[in-house]
């Protein structure tokens, strides 16, 4: 008998549809230890590991992924766009967490997606560090753009003073004179 678990992962809960042969059982768990223990009880009720399928939903699905790996369960994790496309091919009519979990289980039965290969801890750490680096880079670009906009409002002439890259001297002048009026006031002090 084929057993498939379709799991629709949200922020704090996951909706599960267990397809056991032709019957289905639906439940909702919390995405924390008690909820995952409840899922473990459902999974361990079967002598043969069931097929498990869910969508990649960023940080939310990573907790489920780690839990399944810790307990030795194989799973299929689908890209959300691929899952949507496959659901839209006649499976999905009304979008709800329950129907998504059910349709994910049906997708696995129809398409027999291969299980995901487990990544080494080193590779996972590199992925995590890469995402962190990308976020820092994005934050830095946004901060520089904000600073540039503010300087255009308070001291637009500063750009004309420096032809090349903005090095140490540029930033020291900005620190000392964040507004053009401060240059004029400082000039008057030195003239007296």
CA distance 26 to 7: 10
Show Cβ contacts of residue 113 under 8 Å, excluding neighbours closer than 6 positions: 53, 76, 78, 107
B/e letters for 39-57, b = 16+ CB within 10 Å, e = fewer, are: beeebeeeeebbbbbbbbb
Alpha-carbon distances, residue 73 vs 27, 151, 152 (angstroms): 19, 55, 56
List helix spans (H) across 32-120.
33-44, 59-70, 80-88, 97-111
Model confidence over 150-173: pLDDT tens digits? 888 887 877 777 766 577 887 888
- Global pTM value: 0.69
Q: What is the pLDDT of residue 95?
A: 66
Tokens of 108: 């696995």
Supply the mean pLDDT for the chain.
88
């Amino acid at each position: 008998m084929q057993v498939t678990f379709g799991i629709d992962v949200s922020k704090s809960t996951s909706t599960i549809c267990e397809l056991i042969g032709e019957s289905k059982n639906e439940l909702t768990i919390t995405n924390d230890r008690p909820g995952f223990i409840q899922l473990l009880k459902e999974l361990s009720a079967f002598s043969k590991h069931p097929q498990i399928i869910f969508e990649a939903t960023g940080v939310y699905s990573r907790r489920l992924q780690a839990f399944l790996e810790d307990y030795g369960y194989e799973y299929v994790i689908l890209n959300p766009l691929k899952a949507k496309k496959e659901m839209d091919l006649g499976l999905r009519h009304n979008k709800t967490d329950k129907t998504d979990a059910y349709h994910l289980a049906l997708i696995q039965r129809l398409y027999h997606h291969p299980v995901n290969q487990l990544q080494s801890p080193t590779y996972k750490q590199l992925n995590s560090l890469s995402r962190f680096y990308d976020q820092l880079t994005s934050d830095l670009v946004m901060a520089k753009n904000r600073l540039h906009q503010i300087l255009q409002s308070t001291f637009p002439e500063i750009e004309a003073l420096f032809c090349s890259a903005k090095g140490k001297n540029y930033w020291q002048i900005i620190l000392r004179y964040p507004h053009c009026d401060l240059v004029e006031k400082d000039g008057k002090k030195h003239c007296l």
